[in-house]
Structure 1
Amino acid sequence: MSGAWEASVEAKIRDAAERGEFDDLPGMGRPIPGRGAPYDESWWIKSFLEREALPSDLLLPTSLQLRRRVEQVPDEVRDLPTEQSVRDFVGQLNVQIVAWLRFPDDGPRIAVRPVNTEDVVRRWRAQRARPAVTATATEPATAATPSRRPGRSWWRWWRRRG
């Protein structure tokens, strides 16, 4: 019975190919992606992440995701406009960390502590104040530099005194 069923399926495929139903399929005439590469068990996960433009961090256990987010806090708060938005961001992260500490998943046990909001705000303020100070400090210094070799002007001054 299975032989007759297979013959019937093959006949339908052959008829569809003769009618040209397979002529305009996407990717026709191109090599199959990944052919000749070594077998990877998670190929479908990687292709899904690539196709949907998702970050690969989603594959990490919760503890590692939280640890990575804690490390990236200075970069993430750098462009926030107000101190309150920085506090809100850190507060939301701390809520996630505390929730994980209460009910950890099966992932690796990695020490993740809540982020100190005051430290983050202090660094955020210092970073916002720093570019304005360095820009004004470097402009006069570059304009006042003499065209002579540095380090020799003091020698001339010393020789005049003696």
Structure 2
Amino acid sequence: MTERKPLGMPFETWVDRQIREAEERGEFDNLPGKGKPIPDLDKVGDELWWVKQKLRGEGLSMPLPPTLALRKEAEESLEAAAKARSEGEVRLIINEINDRIRAAIRTGLSGPPLNLMPFDVERVVSEWRARR
């Protein structure tokens, strides 16, 4: 257990002493990753990269807010429609996600703004045909 900081001792000096004494006792020896660079430390752009990496490493995930989950589901539905085997399957996939989008617009979902409108079924079918 760490002792309390003595009165009158600067905080930084007290912390430095605690670290030095722990090093002398060997408490930092044999730590996982000792002497290795921190992975992805040089990646820029995402302030929470290390949190996401830790969650992945621990096999944890955080549920998305409902609006973001629906956006993701909409993207996945478009991908599934592009891979569909028939025009009927494309229509089914798009109509199902459109029903969920319309319900979300009617009732509202928590999270960031949905910013999503139902897909034009005929346009998606036309794009599917063009790829065939």
Instruction: Return the TM-score normalized by structure 2.
Output: 0.49
Structure with the higher helix share, 1 or 2: 1
Instruction: Return the TM-score normalized by structure 1.
Output: 0.42
Structure number with larger C-alpha Rg: 1
